[in-house]
Amino acid sequence: MGIWYLLLIVGLCWAQYNPNTLLGRTSVVHLFAWRWADVALECERYLAPHGFGAVQISPSNENVISDRWQPWWEGYQPISYKLCTRSGNETEFRDLVTRCNNVGVYIYVDAIINHMCGTTAGAGNHSTCGSYFNAKTENFPAVPYSVWDFNDGKCKSRSGDIEDYHDIPQVRDCRLSGLLDLALEKDYVRSKVAEYMNHLIDIGVAGFRIDAAKHMWPGDIKAFLDKLKDLNTQWFSAGTKPFIYQEVIDLGGEPITGSQYFGNGRVTEFKYGAKLGTVIRKWNGEKMAYLKNWGEGWGFVPSDRALVFVDNHDNQRGHGAGGASILTFWDARLYKMAVGFMLAHPYGFTRVMSSFRWPRYFVDGQDVNDWVGPPSNSDGSTKPVTINADTTCGNDWVCEHRWRQIRNMVIFRNVVDGQPFSNWWDNGSNQVAFGRGNKGFIVFNNDDWAMDVNLQTGLPAGTYCDVISGEKEDNRCTGSQVYVSGDGMANFQISNHAEDPFMAIHVNAKL
């Protein structure tokens, strides 16, 4: 009895760290600003067949409409917890969750809990469901919240905004960029938040990204998470807890750290993309050879507490954390290498970005168009994600998750799941390789000269299709082939001028 009880407690403690994906599906894709109708279609036609485990969707609750241009950040300024946004209404949202769940691709909602809209939003019904609000008097009758439900009295900064990131109470009790900061120590506010999240759980979502978690006290987050239901048993085993990952920007040097939030769930490891970008760009004397102890050895949070990514919707625009080193779809060649490395390496739970293009315009090093929202029609409605004949996306949707190299590395990660990091090799510079037990092997040439090496792959003998230049199709390779001999050795030749200067093989791509 004692052992059973201990196992039960351990299981409950681990629950919120488990992504709840189907066995053998190991990555989430962020379909940033997609319409619910398009997400549902993508689950059925592409994500499920290619082994994606989950989708992070944009915020699902009513937000402010700031102007006719509708910048993307409007979605992060709530007016109520009604389920209607520019991505769709509640009926469309329910349809998306049901259809994605039915094909085994689960939904994580980007939950905006820390705050409501900004102080400058005015008053009226300029919101995605048409609900009335008054930001000046802090009145949100559609929730309802009133002036008593905000942290104005607790904030000790002069302006009411966060002014000093070394002052912990200020970071957690004052306004983030003028956004009205909810008083989450009040049980009423916690209950309204939990009511919203439980509504989503009833519909069938599998987890939540907690936006701006750094700006909430960990104990307050725990208090509303403790009010959450188990996941819907139509799709999940009885007693399954929602997956929780918290946005905590911790690049070091501040008193608030990611580890302070481990009790609630995983955290977003922002150092991951910032450091990997620096290495792949070869800035500051960094080399790929230094990646041998990647992960905790680089000062990151423990692997089982990390949600990792090369870029996200904020820092691909220069917002948030990471600075100029962040690699994005704009740097396609290097970006594919970085995402390939992430998906091959065992550290963390991996998130792939799927973006939209915007008209970048730099003035004094700053992109003055970083606010531009998703591709839109003249009436402000979001354009559908169209699919081209070559399976890429149209209408200015980038769809990095459909790039052959990234899609095939999502599959690679699924194939090697559970296998150890093995057979590391490097040339002391920017040519590196490593395996995942006896299931997969990946090789990079990020040097300015050609590569021609014989390496121990750890794989069974045979002919393998390189899944970067092509894939296995009808028992043949559409790209390069790699021959592994009986002793596990293979020759790899990669030109430094190659479109994609890396190769990857796995046992499911063996002829």
Helical ranges in 306-447 per DSSP H: 332-344, 404-416
Annotated catalytic residue 202? no
Question: What is d(CA 163, CA 212) in angstroms, rounded to the nearest whole number?
Answer: 16
Tokens read off for 360: 């970048």
Question: What is d(CA 422, CA 437) in angstroms, rounded to the nearest whole number?
Answer: 6
3-state secondary structure string across 1-20: CHHHHHHHHHHHHHHHHCCC
Strand partners, 490: 455, 484
Question: What is d(CA 12, CA 228) in angstroms, rounded to the nearest whole number?
Answer: 13
Angle, helices 187-203 vs 90-102, to 10°: value is: 60
Angle, helices 332-344 vs 270-281, to 10°: value is: 130
- Which one of 74, 110, 173, 211 is the catalytic residue? 211
- Which one of 62, 173, 247, 500 is the catalytic residue? 247
**Residue 397 DSSP symbol:** B
Question: What is d(CA 408, CA 313) in angstroms, rounded to the nearest whole number?
Answer: 22
Contact 145, 127 (CB under 8 A): no
Q: Can you count the helices (H) and strands (E) in the chain?
A: 9, 24
CA angle 71, 73, 75 (to 5 degrees): 105
Annotated catalytic residue 311? no
Residue indicated by tokens 């559409």: 478
Would you list the DSSP string of 41-92?
A: HHIIIIITTTT--EEEEPP-S-BB--STT--GGGGGSBS-S-S-BTTB-HHH
Active site residues: 211, 247
